Copies of this chain bind each other. A is one copy, B any other.
Amino acid sequence: MAASEYSLRRALVEKQSSIESQGNAVRALKASNAVKADVDEAIEKLNALKLEKSSIEKQLQAAVSGNPDSSVNKEAFRQAVVNTLERRLFFIPSFKIYRGVAGLYDYGPPGCAVKSNVLAFWRQHFVLEENMLEVDCPCVTPEVVLKASGHVDKFTDLMVKDEKTGTCYRADHLLKDFCNEKIQKDLSISAEKAAELKHVLAVLDDLSAEELGAKIKEYGITAPDTKNPLSDPYPFNLMFQTSIGPSGLSPGYMRPETAQGIFVNFKDLYYYNGNKLPFAAAQIGQAFRNEISPRQGLLRVREFTLAEIEHFVDPEDKSHPKYSEVADLEFLMFPREQQVSGQSAKKICLGEAVSKGIVNNETLGYFIGRVYLFLTHLGIDKDRLRFRQHLANEMAHYAADCWDAEIESSYGWIECVGIADRSAYDLRAHTDKSGVPLVAHEKFSEPKEVEELVIAPVKKELGLSFKGNQKKVVEALEAMNEKEALDMKSSLETKGEVEFYVCTLGENVTIKKSMVSISKEKKKEHQRTFTPSVIEPSFGIGRIIYCLYEHSFYMRSSKAGDEQQNVFRFPPLVAPIKCTVFPLVQNQQYEDVAKIISKSLTAAGISHKIDITGTSIGKRYARTDELGVPFAITVDSTSSVTIRERDSKDQIRVNVEEAASVVKSVTDGHTTWADAWANFPHHSGSVED
Structural contact, B139 and A286, CB atoms closer than 8 A: yes
A104/B254 contact (C-beta < 8 A), A95-B145, A240-B243 known:
no
Interface string of A128-155 (1 = CB under 8 A from B): 1101011111111110110000000000
Q: Do the beta carbons of A98 and B254 come within 8 Å of each other?
A: no
Instruction: Please give the distance in Å from A103's CB to the nearest CB on chain B.
Output: 8
Query: Which listed residue, B98, B168, B303, touches A139 by the CB 8 Å rule?
Result: B303
Bound-state CA distance A562–B642 (Å) is 65
Q: Report Cα–Cα, A139/B254, bound state, in Å.
A: 10
Q: How far is it, in angstroms, between the C-alpha of A248 and the C-alpha of B250 when the chains are bound? A: 19
List CB contacts (< 8 Å) of A92-121 with chain B: 92, 94-98, 101-102, 104-109, 111-113, 115-116
Count, chain A residues at interface, CB 8 A: 79
Known: A108-B268, A137-B106. A142 touches B89 (CB 8 A): no
Question: In the docked arrangement, what's the CA distance between A286 and B141, Å?
Answer: 14
Asked if A142 contacts B240 (CB within 8 A), the reply is no
Does the CB pair B246–A168 fall under 8 Å? yes
In Å, the complex CA distance between A134 and B252 comes to 31
Query: Is A561 interfacial (CB-CB < 8 Å)?
Result: no
Which chain B residue shows the least CB distance to A436? B97
Give Cα A236–Cα B268 distance, bound, in whole angstroms: 36
Q: Contact between A292 and B246 (Cβ–Cβ < 8 Å)?
A: yes
| A and B contact pairs by CB, cutoff 8 A, 6 listed | A94-B138, A96-B268, A128-B607, A168-B247, A240-B244, A246-B293
Please tell me if A671 contacts chain B, counting CB pairs below 8 Å. Answer: no
Contact between A107 and B95, CB atoms less than 8 A apart: no
Which residues on the B side are within 8 Å of A159 (C-beta)? Answer: 246
Contacts of A605 in B (CB 8 A): 124
Q: Which residues of B contact A131 (CB under 8 A)?
A: 609
Q: Does A167 contact B (CB under 8 A)?
A: yes
Contacts of A602 in B (CB 8 A): 128-129
For the complex formed, measure the closest distance between the CB of A118 and the CB atoms of chain B, giving whole angstroms: 12
Taking a contact as CB atoms under 8 Å apart, the answer to whether A264 and B98 are in contact is yes
Q: Which residues of B contact A123 (CB under 8 A)?
A: 116
Which chain B residues lie closer than 8 Å to A128 at the CB level?
Answer: 602, 607
Ranked 5 nearest A-B pairs via Cβ = A107-B136, A97-B434, A97-B436, A109-B133, A168-B246
Chain B residues closer than 8 Å to A108, beta-carbon distance: 133, 135, 265, 268-269, 272
Contact B245 A137 (CB under 8 A): no
Q: Does chain B have a CB within 8 A of A430?
A: yes
Partner of A97, one of B240, B267, B613: B267
- A269 and B96 CA atoms in complex are apart in Å by 13
Let me know if B244 and A101 touch, CB within 8 A: yes
A residues 204-256 touching B (CB-CB < 8 Å): 236, 240-247, 250, 252, 254
A310–B291 Cα distance when bound, in Å, is: 32
Indicate which residue in B98, B124, B241 contacts A242 across the interface (CB closer than 8 Å): B241
CB closest chain-B residue, reference A285: B286
Contact (Cβ within 8 A) A302 B140: yes
Residues A264 and B104 in contact, CB atoms below 8 Å apart? no
Chain B residues closer than 8 Å to A133, beta-carbon distance: 108-109
Q: Are B140 and A303 in contact, CB atoms less than 8 angstroms apart?
A: yes
> Can you name the residue of chain B whose Cβ is closest to the Cβ of A137?
B106
20 further A-B contacts with Cβ under 8 Å, apart from A89-B272, A97-B430, A101-B252, are A98-B144, A101-B140, A104-B138, A104-B140, A106-B135, A106-B137, A107-B136, A108-B269, A109-B134, A109-B135, A113-B134, A124-B605, A128-B602, A138-B302, A140-B288, A140-B302, A168-B246, A245-B293, A246-B290, A286-B286
Q: Is the CB–CB distance between A242 and B240 below 8 Å?
A: yes
